[in-house]
A and B are shown apart, each in its own frame.
Chain A
Amino acid sequence: MTHAMLSGLIRMAQGLALASPTLLVGLLVAGVFRYYLTPAQLRKLFGGETLASLPISWLIGMLLPVCSIGVLPILMQMHRARVRPGAMTAFALSAPLFNPLSLLYGLTLSRPIVVTAFALCSLAVVTLLGTIWDRFAARGGSDSAAKEEEEDEPSRVIGVQRLLAMIVMITREAVGFTGVLVLVALLGLGLLGAFLPYGALQNSFEMDDVWAPARMTFLAIPIYATPMLAMSQLGMMFQHCNSPGAALALLLLGTGVNLATLVWLVKKYGFKSTLVWFTSLVLIVLALSYAVEKPLTLPGAEPAGHTHAFDGYATPLHSKSEFQWAIIREALVKPLSIAEFAAVSVLSGLVALGLLFRLLRIHEERFHRDAAQSIGTYDRIVPAPLLAGVVLLGLIAFSVVACFAYYPHPSESLEEIASVRSEVFSAARSGNAEQALHWIGLWDDWSRRLEVATFLRSGHVRPYQRMQGYIVRKKLELLEHELEEEPLDQKHVNAVLMDLLESDNRWRTAFRPAKIDP
């Protein structure tokens, strides 16, 4: 029992670390929507009452770097502003599915047609579901939002007071309803981690398994995955020739929704409406998953018979391993990237501030009221279209900058890979399997980022470059398997290293700067 609880808690903590960066973005965007746009402006931003509202919401969702947890505070603001339910569902599903970073990453995972097909399938899902939801769900809204509707333009003042109102709102939300929903979302991961045995999902999603898409649809409901995590899992599925239908179901349901999405929908729209929404979603996902199963299967693909892609949803603790603080620390702290570590720290600060504000009964509305009443020296009246335009252009600019920062110039990627590679070789040669496995993951990740970086700057990746990347990753996985052997066979490890060394040399030659810009 302790083992199950501990496993569940570890998975929840890992999920929280993963969610932190996108949750912060979600809280910030919710704050901007609440205090820098009127409900009418927000409705207009999402296409208003026009037919284009569904694709517009889908597109905005694609641009925003949020996950299915980060999207929740934004949805609350959209509901408050009485945005069309269909547009809300389009945004709620598309925002966590893709963002520019994950979409570019996705293009390196398989044939571009697969990721393009997945993106189009997501558009089909949000359009269908949005249309259904518009029929069944009642409009949201609140009294304060209705009052704001009556406010005139001069009251839209940007000032320190309004900024303070936004900050207080964000911190209070972090420990308020949004905070509760975050825990509900992570509960799904906790339950899976507590009850699924170690490595339980390794052969559940094979290409020729007719039940694979249905099984994934079932599994993906409690799953919470960030867009980048889902993309890397899809990558492993493609690499192991798992079921493409199951991969699509993972993307649409695992990334798109979580338990908290359902809880929030029930609270706002009632059980019946949510049941209609959820049943429609599951049926559409199932239909699409089975529809893409054959067309997206790679001709001549050789299934590997297993995948480690879903090990992260089963228990992290081996049943035979004893309770050790070092193992828990390893499971919690080691997988954190610098960005996640920074985000967790900022989130902790927000939570502390939020608790303080709640204890002192400081409410954001106090600052909001003051802002509406007084115009300070530095306050300026900003026209609504300008505000909306800045928000949208800012989003696009942020996405572009983020893409170039996350996928640095190929020469920089090659330098990173060079240092990661020497870590892998020295760890593997000295028999330090754990250390080597850690660096292998980074090497794999950088190999994909190198391809995206090349694509971003030259507009294409040559077939030879793609093939060399594929071969290096395949050999990295073989090395991974050799290192996981118990007991470790150093001779086999050395043989794989020799082979990898040659492939790595060809791969780097293919990407050297002289060849990037033909």
Chain B
Amino acid sequence: MRLLSRLSLLLFLLSFAGCQSEQRDSLHQMEHVTPAHWPNDLQDAALKIKDRFDHLQSVGPEPTADDKSKVVQKELAEIVGWMPEVAADSFIDESQWEPVNEASLELSASLEKLSLPIAPATATEITQFVQLLSKTAQLEAANKPPVPNGTKSGEILVPESQTDATNEGES
């Protein structure tokens, strides 16, 4: 019985042995990796989606094994799916974000069933989405706040708790 319990403990500990082969100096050794095709902003996203759409339009109905169409198709779906986050992290307001979010959800559903060649309805959907992103990017440019006078690039204005609470109370 004692041997059995010792064996169980050993097995239990061994099951986690693969998790870490050596002690780490910092917990930071495995950082989050941002995918290479993550868009920098809305305009960049519109370009990235258009590039991938153009590529998929140019390939035949049955791509060869070494064709990169599958990767492009996957990246297209991923970029479209990321758009609510990318748009929310820009200088547009909620009313400008909502159409992007809704269109992204709808297009993502269509892209899940995507097969080549791209159906005309889906192609129209993608084109309209690219146009929406370009239009929203223009709105964002108009919304962008100017850099305050006397603030150097990279300088952080520490938010004051008192000021912030007062603002919320006022609104």
Asked if A pairs with B, the answer is yes
B85 on interface, CB distance cutoff 8 Å: yes
Is A508 on the interface with B (CB-CB < 8 A)? yes
The answer to whether A202 and B88 have CB atoms under 8 Å apart is no
Residue A370 at the chain B interface, CB threshold 8 Å: no
Most buried by A among B19, B78, B101: B19
The reply to whether B157 and A501 form a contact with Cβ atoms under 8 Å apart is yes
* A218 contacts B85, C-beta separation under 8 Å: no
Asked if B149 lies at the interface with its beta carbon under 8 angstroms from chain A, I say no
**Interface hits, A370-405 → B, CB 8 Å:** none
Bound-complex Cα distance A503 to B85 (A): 11
Take A300-B78, A498-B154 as given contacts and tell me if A199 and B20 are in contact as well, using a CB distance cutoff of 8 Å: yes
- Bound CA–CA A128/B149 (angstroms): 67
What 0/1 readout, one digit per residue, does chain A (480-518) give for beta carbons within 8 Å of chain B?
Answer: 010011100001001101100101101010101111000
Which A residues lie within 8 Å of B28 (CB)? 481, 484-486
A340 adjacent to chain B (CB < 8 Å): no
Distance from A505 Cβ to chain B, minimum over Cβ atoms (Å): 9
With A198-B24, A300-B108, A481-B31 already in contact, the answer to whether A411 and B89 are too (CB < 8 A) is no
Residue picked from A300, A304, A481, most chain B C-beta under 10 Å:
A300
Chain B residues 1-33 with CB under 8 Å of chain A are 9, 12-13, 15-16, 18-20, 23-28, 30-33
Interface-side segment among A49-57, A114-122, A418-426:
A418-426
* Distance of B113 from chain A, by nearest CB (Å): 13
User: How far in angstroms is the closest Cβ of chain A from B43?
Assistant: 18
Q: Do B23 and A319 touch (CB < 8 A)?
A: yes
Tell yes or no: A112 within 8 A of B by CB: no
CB of B39 closer than 8 Å to a CB of A = no
Q: From known contacts A196-B13, A481-B28, A484-B27, infer whether A414 and B158 are also in contact, taking CB-CB under 8 Å.
A: no
Those of B146-161 within 8 Å (CB) of chain A: 154, 156-161
Assembled-state Cα–Cα distance A513/B35 (Å): 36
Measured between beta carbons, the chain B residues less than 8 angstroms from A512 are 168, 171
Would B159 and A199 count as touching, CB distance under 8 A? no
Pick the residue among B15, B89, B158, B171 that contacts A429 (CB under 8 A).
B158
Given A305-B33, A418-B164, A512-B171, also A300-B77 (CB < 8 A): yes
**Chain B interface main SS type:** helix
Most B CB atoms within 10 A — which of A463, A503, A510? A463
Identity of the chain A residue whose Cβ is nearest the Cβ of B84 in the assembled complex: A467
Chain A residue at minimum C-beta to C-beta distance from B80: A300
Determine whether the beta carbon of B171 is less than 8 Å from that of A426. Answer: no
Q: Which residues of B contact A145 (CB under 8 A)?
A: none
B84: which A residues are within 8 A, CB to CB? 463, 467
Tally of contacts, chain A with chain B, CB under 8 A = 139
* B165 close to A (CB within 8 Å): yes
- Establish whether residues A304 and B32, one from each chain, have CB atoms under 8 Å apart when the complex forms: yes
Inter-chain contact B88/A467, CB cutoff 8 Å: yes
The answer to whether B169 and A421 have CB atoms under 8 Å apart is: no
Residues of B within 8 A of A491 (CB): 154
A415 to B81, CA, bound (A): 33
Q: Report how far A215 CA is from B15 CA in the complex, Å.
A: 7
Q: Do the beta carbons of A305 and B32 come within 8 Å of each other? A: yes
A501 engages B156 (CB within 8 Å)? yes
Contacts of A199 in B (CB 8 A): 20, 24, 27
Contact of A13 with B by CB under 8 A = no
Query: Residue B129 at the A interface, CB < 8 A?
Result: no
0/1 interface trace, chain A 31-74, chain B, CB 8 Å (1 if under): 00000000000000000000000000000000000000000000
* A299 and B154 contact, CB distance less than 8 A: no
For window 253-306 of chain A, which residues contact chain B by CB distance below 8 Å? Answer: 299-300, 302, 304-306
A305 lies within 8 A of B30 (CB): yes
B residues near A, CB below 8 A?
9, 12-13, 15-16, 18-20, 23-28, 30-33, 35, 77-78, 81-82, 84-85, 88-89, 94, 97-98, 101, 108, 112, 154, 156-161, 164-165, 168-169, 171
Q: Given A464-B97, A503-B89, 18 other A-B contacts at CB below 8 A? A: A199-B20, A200-B19, A300-B108, A304-B30, A414-B165, A418-B159, A418-B165, A419-B161, A425-B159, A464-B88, A464-B94, A470-B85, A481-B32, A494-B154, A494-B156, A506-B88, A508-B168, A512-B168
Q: When A and B form their complex, which 8 residue pairs have the shortest distance between CB atoms, in order from nearest? A: A418-B164, A300-B81, A419-B161, A306-B30, A422-B161, A484-B28, A467-B88, A418-B161
Instruction: List 12 A-B residue pairs with CB atoms under 8 Å apart, sorted by A's residue number.
Output: A204-B18, A204-B19, A299-B108, A418-B168, A421-B159, A422-B161, A425-B156, A426-B158, A463-B98, A467-B88, A471-B85, A508-B164
